[in-house]
Structure 1
Amino acid sequence: MDVGEVVLIGGGALVTSALTAVLGFGGGIVLLALLLLVVDPIVAIPLHAAIQIASNGSRTVIRRRDVDWGIVTRSSLLLLPAGALTVPLARAAPEAALQVAIAVTVLVATWVPERTALEVPAPSGPAWIGVGAVAGALNPLVGATGPLFAPLYKAASATRQRFVGTFAGTQVAGHPAKLVLFGAAGLAPTGHLPAVAAGIVGVVVGTELGSRVLDRMSEQRFRSLYLAAITAVAVYLVVDGVAGAG
């Protein structure tokens, strides 16, 4: 990996972490797409996880008073064992088809409640354990599942700050789980330490900048940007998945 690619990753990490600090999700999957431009998918996922630990960790620290730690704890319980079940499929799974399915689910979960009287229900206390298990199983296969679960966390959050903080807290557990699983499979990103370092610096700076924007934003503006961003990410996943399948 040359210097230009390392700089590209650092700059991309800054911009995408600022986006996530404002909206609570979205930046991670954009960063993963950027990484796929310079490394193979089987390398991109653990490299992405290493950078995102810093991104979500810094966001959790900044929003620590807004985090629902009960949700974070429950949704983290089965991340590792569920992920261990699907790591063997990471190299052979039909990733494009899974990606399209996730994107369609995201669009339905976001826009059906928006256009009808239906609402995405907030999971009950024990149900968060199941949410975490599904996330853990999908993480090794897809790499960035935030848009799929964002509507559930948003439904459980009274304010935008609580949503951003709690969602970040759950991701702090999810990304180390991926690193452990890929490391055990001999796929730790140790050969790309300069890119990891550049990405960490970028996400810490981006998180600080984005958090300042969030605190000044109105609830209506946040809602409009949230809907636009989650739709754009889902559409991107569909297009990319269809192109990959072709």
Structure 2
Amino acid sequence: MDWLQLGLLCGAGFVAWALNTLSAGGGGLLLIPAVTFLTGSAAVAPVITLTELMANPVRILAFRRDVDWTIVRWYLPGAIIGAAAGAWLFANARAEWLQILIGLYLIGAVWEFRAGARERSYEARRWWFLPAGLTVSMLSALMGTVGPVLNSLYLNYGSSKETLVATKSVSSFATDVIKIAVFTGLGVFSGHALAFGLATGIGAAVSTFAAKPMLERMSGRQFRTVVVALMAMSGALMIWKQHELVIALYHQLANGVPTGIGVAGAELTPRRP
């Protein structure tokens, strides 16, 4: 670990979270290649969680008047349970197939919202944020990040661009505290992971001041277009991360070799971070 490495991580955090603000998500996935290249894959989930923990309070402060607290009250109970469960599973399971399925779902947003031209594809109910919080927080802790997978629910609920960004930041901050606590208890947070997370977190936090004026100038249509584009890009990145797995499965199926895929579609073999 050296100052150049930390500087590159800080810059990567700034760029990724500026785009995260403008698209209400996807920053974590955009940051994964940089974090993996500079630190190794084992540090991805703890580093991105710490980055969010540092960046979200700044974003909450900047957009404090736009938070929809009714959504937060529905989202948090399930999200807290899901974050704790997912962080524990992080040390005990693998989720390659889940990433592929989520990637396909994110790419599907292009058709769901007609590339941003369509305001809603269905009418979401407020209580839906409870099971959504449980599921998404668990997957986020397990895989490091699931990208802007909740954006579809927010858009179909009718949230404005500022409300979407602000409310997601509050919800994410609360669950990140739980994930950090569990990661620390499991020994996943090494000294290097802490330093890497602080570097990316500083860059991510500063980026809010550059991105906020740009978000305010965007129209609703422009915002939806960017959101959908980043959802599709995030989905493509998630699938590309598992391209070797897809190729291996293809060869196994072609040769009639059993795949060993579990009931839930994830290969649940013990691992160490």
2:232 matched to which residue of 1? 231
Identity of aligned residues (%): 23
1:161 matched to which residue of 2? 162
1:167 maps to amino acid: K
2:210 matched to which residue of 1? 209
Deviations for 1:169-219, whole angstroms, at most 9, x for unmatched residues? 221122222111211211124434433332232112211101111112222
2:42 counterpart of 1:42:
yes
TM-score by length of 2: 0.81
Contact 1:85 1:137 in 2 (8 A): yes
Deviates more, 1:159-168 or 1:86-95: 86-95
1:187 matched to which residue of 2? 188
1:103 matched to which residue of 2? 103
Shift in alpha-carbon separation, 1:219–1:87, aligned structure 2, 3 A? closer
How many residue pairs match? The answer is 246
Deviations for 1:33-69, whole angstroms, at most 9, x for unmatched residues? 3211123333221121111112222111111111101
Q: Matched residue of 2:70: which SS?
A: helix
Deviates more, 1:9-18 or 1:111-120: 111-120
Shift in alpha-carbon separation, 1:151–1:117, aligned structure 2, 3 A? closer
> For residues 198 and 84 of structure 1, what CA distance do their matches in structure 2 show?
25
Shift in alpha-carbon separation, 1:143–1:64, aligned structure 2, 3 A? same
Q: Which has the larger radius of gyration?
A: 2
> For residues 209 and 244 of structure 1, what CA distance do their matches in structure 2 show?
38
1:176 maps to amino acid: V
Contact 1:78 1:129 in 2 (8 A): yes
Unmatched runs of 5 consecutive residues or more in structure 2: 249-273
Shift in alpha-carbon separation, 1:215–1:87, aligned structure 2, 3 A? closer
Task: Using the TM superposition, give the Cα deviation of residue 32 of structure 1 relative to its aligned residue in structure 2, in angstroms.
Answer: 2.6
Unmatched runs of 5 consecutive residues or more in structure 1: none
Shift in alpha-carbon separation, 1:63–1:89, aligned structure 2, 3 A? same
1:23 maps to amino acid: S
> For residues 89 and 66 of structure 1, what CA distance do their matches in structure 2 show?
34
